[in-house]
Amino acid sequence: MRSYPGLLVRDVRLGSGLCAIAGLFIAATSSGFGVSLDDRNTCLIAGGALGLAGAFLLLLPWSRMTRRALLVPPALITLTLACLGLSTVSVAQSFLACLVLVAVYLGLTQPPGTIAFVLPALAGAWWTAFPSHPTSVLVSLPLELAVWLLVSELIARSTSRARRESDELLNSSLQDPLTRIGNRRVLTRSLTGLAPGSLVMFLDLDHFKEFNDRYGHAAGDDVLIQFAAVTTKVLREGDVVTRYGGEEFVIVLPPDVPGHQVYARLKRAWDEAGGPVSFSAGAARRLAEETPDQTLARADAALYRAKTGGRDQLAVDQVSTYVSDIPVQVRHSELDDPDFGVTDVLQWAKTPPTNAWGARRGEPETAPT
């Protein structure tokens, strides 16, 4: 099935089908009793062209268009009826029911009020179907306009309300109700399409249970909301931040983002915001040969090392580390050693020593400042 991001597949197919049905209706009706040969040929050509145009609509690059592009199908039908009214003798009157279908389609695919801008075109197509323009036509035209307006607006308002409720339901299913950031469903979706090298970072507020017990759950909720807001502000548009559960958060970042810089920016912003508790972090990068869940598990394991190693620090996974993930002061201390070159740093990033922070071999582990 062809995909049309930004537009509903149903709307694209509905517009194509509407043109095909109107074209078939015009071509089939033209063979009726009393239709001249010239009018019959004109209707066959017009109906066939409209049907082919409907099929061609499926080939257009809808992903790069706005919803207003869906006005093309009703415009084609209206134009076809106007041409038939101008080039045939009284045959176009048989096809005016298509204008009701146009009004229905506009109500299904466009926002309320759109029909008001389209009514002049519909009225023009309807007017050309009556070459002699008798008085009865002048009387019935306002009634036709009222019917088209009423039908289209009722459908448009109902459809708009249904879409709004559907969007709200979808947002609520993907949003953490307390912090208003993504929930675990959003995390699952993000992990599903995780590219190799992407960074997954687990965040956990330190001593949050003690804070809750001392100041109450309302104060604890305020801390969670504040931390989510600070994290969202620090990250770039397109980066993913989710609440994993309790006081745990997970962020997912593209491969070009240095892990230690993300942690440093977030820590600085949290301190400036007056965060009442510190937080620990564990980071891991997706390996090409592993599943996203395995990457998440390694980030969780790194977080555990950060928590057991004294909290208020970042622990980097030892399997998938990039040089850019290593805290700058650690890399500089290694590079000061004349026996330790850039090649060794690159190798360390792939297979670092047991020390989570990359302190000199044989020296005790140190946490970043």
Closest residue by Cα to residue 70 from 114, 12, 149, 113: 12
Question: Does residue 191 lie in a domain region?
Answer: yes
User: Given a cut of 60, is residue 325 above it in pLDDT?
Assistant: no
> Which two structure tokens, joined as six digits, stand for 357?
């922070």
pLDDT at residue 359 in the model? 32
Closest residue by Cα to residue 126 from 140, 113, 112: 140
> Which two structure tokens, joined as six digits, stand for 369?
């400042």
pLDDT at residue 354 in the model? 36
Contacts of 220 (CB under 8 A, 6+ apart): 208, 211, 212
Alpha-carbon distance of 337 to 124, in angstroms, equals: 85
Strand 279-285 relative to strand 314-316: parallel, antiparallel, unpaired? parallel
Is the Cβ–Cβ distance between 322 and 258 less than 8 Å?
A: yes
- Quote the strand ranges of 59-187, DSSP E: none
**89 CB-contact burial (10 Å; exposed 0-12 / middle 13-18 / buried 19+):** exposed
Residues 58 and 86 in one domain: yes
Is the Cβ–Cβ distance between 73 and 20 less than 8 Å?
A: no
User: Given a cut of 80, is residue 132 above it in pLDDT?
Assistant: no
264-282 per-position pLDDT tens digit: 999 999 999 999 999 999 9
Q: The domain spanning residue 241 has which CATH number?
A: 3.30.70.270
User: What number of residues does the chain have?
Assistant: 369
Catalytically annotated residue among 153, 165, 168, 247: 247
Residues 198 and 312 in one domain: yes
Closest residue by Cα to residue 121 from 160, 71, 157, 195: 71
Contacts of 115 (CB under 8 A, 6+ apart): 103, 106, 107, 148, 149, 152, 153, 156
Alpha-carbon distance of 228 to 300, in angstroms, equals: 19
Task: Report which secondary-structure segment, H or E, holds 315.
Answer: strand 314-316
How many domains would you assign to the chain?
2
Give residue 335's pLDDT band: very low, low, confident or very high (50, 70, 90).
very low
Question: pTM score > 0.85 for this model?
Answer: no
Residues 167 and 191 in one domain: no
Q: Which long-range contacts (C-beta less than 8 Å, at least 24 apart) are formed by 99-104?
A: 99/125, 99/126, 99/144, 99/148, 100/147, 100/148, 100/151, 101/18, 101/21, 101/22, 101/77, 102/18, 102/74, 102/77, 102/78, 102/148, 103/147, 103/148, 103/149, 103/151, 103/152, 104/151, 104/152, 104/155
Question: Does residue 252 lie in a domain region?
Answer: yes
Question: Does residue 363 lie in a domain region?
Answer: no
Q: What percent of the chain has pLDDT over 90?
A: 43
pLDDT at residue 358 in the model? 34
User: In Å, how far from its chain's centre is CA 52?
Assistant: 32
Closest residue by Cα to residue 15 from 66, 71, 61, 64: 71
Contacts of 25 (CB under 8 A, 6+ apart): 47, 95, 98
Triad 335, 331, 274: Cα angle to 5°: 150
Residues 144 and 221 in one domain: no
Alpha-carbon distance of 176 to 9, in angstroms, equals: 29
Mean per-residue pLDDT of the chain: 81
365 is catalytic: no
Question: Does residue 154 lie in a domain region?
Answer: yes
Residues 119 and 266 in one domain: no
Question: Does residue 359 lie in a domain region?
Answer: no
Is the Cβ–Cβ distance between 26 and 46 less than 8 Å?
A: yes
Question: Does residue 296 lie in a domain region?
Answer: yes
Residues 47 and 112 in one domain: yes
Question: Does residue 281 lie in a domain region?
Answer: yes
pLDDT at residue 227 in the model? 96
96-118 per-position pLDDT tens digit: 889 999 999 999 999 999 999 99
Q: Which of 174, 200, 227 is a domain's end point?
A: 174
Q: Which of 174, 206, 225 is a domain's end point?
A: 174
Residues 139 and 191 in one domain: no
Residues 191 and 169 in one domain: no
Residues 81 and 30 in one domain: yes
283 three-class SS: strand
Q: Which of 153, 174, 195 is a domain's end point?
A: 174
pLDDT at residue 317 in the model? 82
Segment 126-150 shows an average pLDDT of: 84
- Which residue segment(s) compose the domain that 286 sits in? 184-350
Question: Does residue 368 lie in a domain region?
Answer: no
Residues 53 and 74 in one domain: yes
Strand 248-253 relative to strand 199-205: parallel, antiparallel, unpaired? antiparallel
Residues 242 and 146 in one domain: no
Residues 52 and 143 in one domain: yes
Backbone angles phi, psi at 290, to 5 degrees: -115, 165
Q: DSSP letter for 254, please.
A: -
Q: Higher model confidence: residue 55 or residue 348?
A: 55
238-259 per-position pLDDT tens digit: 889 999 989 999 999 988 888 8
Q: Higher model confidence: residue 346 or residue 111?
A: 111
